[in-house]
Structure 1
Amino acid sequence: MFIRTASERDLAAVRALLVETWHATYDAIYGVARVTEITDDWHSIASLKARLTRPNSEFLVADDGKRIGGMAFAAATTEPKVILLNQLYVRPSCQRQGIGRALLDEVEASFPEAHTLRLEVEEANVAAITFYRAQGFSSVGKTADCGGGSGLPALIFEKTIG
């Protein structure tokens, strides 16, 4: 898989990856109906398309020429030198192959002036927490509103970069 900037032609494949990954990860936590509701909103083509043109952001895909195996989206925050990793997802069949690490490396490289990379992760998502800890992130707090508007609680992790 190679990492590249996403384009509009990738959006249907990215949406399919997100729907598959979210159901595999979150059905047991939130239930199928709630996961479908979230993915229909957060991962609609319109929502994904808006990310393509968002200023001070990077929308990446991991592509092997046949399929999209992973994606990441990160954007600058109102805090100087802090980047928020909004999304990093790897298709279940592609996990544990270095794709998440490669996407994370490219996110870090995309913001050379940044000092902190921040993310929010569902407390019950043990696999993601284990991955982020292995990449040098540590827990710095909690939020009651993951992503700003979800009403879902999450842990806040940060990593010093740059």
Structure 2
Amino acid sequence: MFVRTASERDLDAVRDLLVETWHATYDGIYGVARVIEITDDWHSIAALRARLTMPRSEFVLADDGEMIGGMAFASASDDDKTVMLHQLYVRPGQQGRGTGRLLLDEIIASFPEARTVKLEVEEANAGAIAFYKANGFEDVGRTANCGRQDSGIPALIYERQLS
């Protein structure tokens, strides 16, 4: 896998990856109908397209030349000191092979002024929590609205301090 910047031509493949990953991860937590509702909204082509041009952000893909194995999207605060990792997803069949680490490293390298990386993670997503803990993140709180204001989805907040 190599990491590269996402482009317009990747959006269908990224959406497919997100839908597959969300069903594999969250069907047992939220139910199939809720996962479809979320992916149709949060991972629509229009929503993904908007990320391509968002100021102070990075949208990267792990690609092996034949398929997109993972994606990550993050944005920096106005002072560039805090990065919010909005998304980091690895195709279920690619998990445990270093793809997530490649994406995380690229996101961090993309924001050289950052001192903190933050993210929100579903408390029942044990695999993601183990990944983030193994990569230096610590549980610092909770939110009642993961992903966006008024989502109604509770999540843990994790942070990693950067040197």
- TM-score > 0.5 by shorter chain: yes
Equivalent position SS for 1:60: strand
Counterpart mapping for 1:20-59 below 5 A = 20-59=20-59
**Alignment correspondent of 1:151:** 152
Aligned length: 162
Matches of 1:9 and 1:24 in 2, distance apart?
A: 25
Q: 1:74 to 1:50 in 2, by over 3 A?
A: same
Paired letter, 2:156: L
- TM-score, normalised via structure 2 length: 0.97
Equivalent position SS for 2:140: strand
String of CA shifts for 1:83-103, please: whole Å, max 9, x gaps. 000000000001111000000
String of CA shifts for 1:111-151, please: whole Å, max 9, x gaps. 00000000000000000000000000000000000012321
- TM-score, normalised via structure 1 length: 0.98
**Alignment correspondent of 2:100:** 100
Matches of 2:140 and 2:57 in 1, distance apart?
A: 23
**Alignment correspondent of 2:122:** 122
Please provide the CA RMSD for this pair: 0.9
CA deviation after TM superposition for structure 1 residue 79, in Å: 6.1
User: Identity of counterpart residues, as a percentage?
Assistant: 69
- Deviating beyond 6 angstroms after TM superposition, the runs of 4 or more aligned structure 1 residues are none
Equivalent position SS for 2:119: strand
Q: 1:2 to 1:161 in 2, by over 3 A?
A: same
Matches of 1:64 and 1:37 in 2, distance apart?
A: 30
Greater mean alpha carbon deviation, residues 70-79 or residues 140-149: 70-79
